[in-house]
Amino acid sequence: MSQATTMITSARPAARRGGNLGDALFAGACQAAGAFVLLLLGGIIVELFLGGLPAFRAFGLPFLWSTEWDPVTEVFGAGVSIYGTVVTAVLAILLAVPLAFGVAFTLTELAPPWLRRPVGTAVELLAAVPSIIYGMWGFFLIAPLMAQYVQPALIDSLGELPGIGFLFQGPPFGTGILTAALILAIMILPFIAATMRDVFEQVPPVFKESAYGLGATTWEVMRGVVLPYTRISVAGGIMLGLGRALGETMAVTFVIGNANRITTTLFGPGNTIASVVALEFGESETGSLKLSALLALGFILFVLSFIVLATSRFLLRSRLKA
């Protein structure tokens, strides 16, 4: 064995020891970062719960479904805010998912290559627009259009239908639950569309080429090959958009009407947990029952988000087992 080989062999344990130390330091840094995130998340949960505890003690479990919010008599309930949060988020998903799928389908299967990049970039840029800009745009442009054209048309065409007609009745003020859901749908559209586009592009080309070779159409390839292959990631993108819709604040505050009542019509005003906190947090005094009620609303919003994510995980696992 030559002297050079002997030197290389003798140097290997030292290099391995150095590598082990670096791996240990890197693993420790990653574990510390993960633990910090968990501690931070736990601290937020505990702080919200402790801050809202006086409200929970004062009103008990009926706080969750009570529709009264009266700062003068210090009687507070979360029912209207929870209703508005859930309804606007669900409506936003119903409006955004078909549009996002259409965008992703067009960019991956139908659009020519020279058009895909600029259109995809334009869709992604929608996510960079601040929420307050969406709110101002919705209040000054979308709300008047809704009041003048969209809501009257819906009242005339759908307002008299049995079963669903009550959802499209009432005066067309422009603002309200439906307008807030429309703004939210536009806001979460780029997140869902970008996720769908990226996962559609990850489908192995041989799968699609095989389907085309068997005579399948473009839609049949999408329905029978692409969607089954990417269903988990597509569901993840939808849940990402739902999480954004649940916690949106300023855009909703501009257009939802900010009325503390539950209306059966989608044209009626309402509020969400985020909009109530944004509007009334600055007016609440430290240590007051109103501040405690607002912190309790924040805790409830956190729990709602957790339930949504946990439900999505359960559904995805059930789908995988099937």
Distances (CA, A) of 198 to 25, 107, 213, 219: 34, 10, 24, 18
Reported as a single tens digit per residue, the pLDDT across 125-165 is: 888 888 889 999 999 999 999 999 999 999 888 888 888 88
Comparing CA positions, the residue from 267, 248, 275 lying closest to residue 191 is 248
265 and 307 fall within a common domain: yes
Domain boundary among 59, 86, 107: 59
In angstroms, the Cα distances linking 18 to 10, 26, 27, 190 are: 14, 12, 14, 45
End-to-end CA distance of the chain: 60
Last residue of a domain, one of 43, 59, 75: 59
Q: Say yes or no: 127 and 48 in one domain.
A: no
What is the residue-wise DSSP string for 139-167?
IIIIHHHIIIIIHHHHHHHHTTSTTTGGG
pTM for this structure?
0.84
Q: Are residues 1 and 115 in the same domain?
A: no
Percent of the chain with pLDDT over 90: 23
Domain that holds residue 34: 1-59
Q: Report how far Cα 77 is from the mean position of its chain's Cα atoms.
A: 24
Burial of 108 (0-12, 13-18, 19+ CB in 10 A): buried
Same domain, 48 and 78: no
Residues 54 and 66 in one domain: no
Alpha helices in the chain (DSSP H): 3-59, 79-105, 113-125, 131-137, 143-145, 151-158, 177-201, 205-213, 218-221, 227-247, 250-255, 273-280, 289-321
Q: In the chain, how many domains are there?
A: 2
**Together in a domain, 26 and 164:** no
| 191 shares a domain with 148 | yes
pLDDT, one tens digit per residue, over 219-234 is 888 888 888 888 887 8
pLDDT band at 8 (very low <50, low <70, confident <90, very high): very low
CA distance 255 to 185: 13
Q: What is the pLDDT of residue 119?
A: 84
**In terms of domains, do 177 and 55 share one?**
no
Give the domain CATH number at 203: 1.10.3720.10
> Of the residues 59, 84, 100, which one is the last residue of a structural domain?
59
pLDDT score of 34 more than 60: yes
Q: At what angle do helices 113-125 and 177-201 cross, to 10 degrees?
A: 140
| Whether residue 167 is found in the same domain as residue 21 | no
Q: What pLDDT digit, counting tens, does each position of 61-107 carry? A: 888 888 888 888 888 888 899 999 999 999 999 999 999 999 989 88
Percent of the chain with pLDDT over 70: 90
User: Does 109 lie in the same domain as 6?
Assistant: no
pLDDT of 312 reads: 66
46 and 18 together in one domain = yes
48 and 192 belong to one structural domain: no
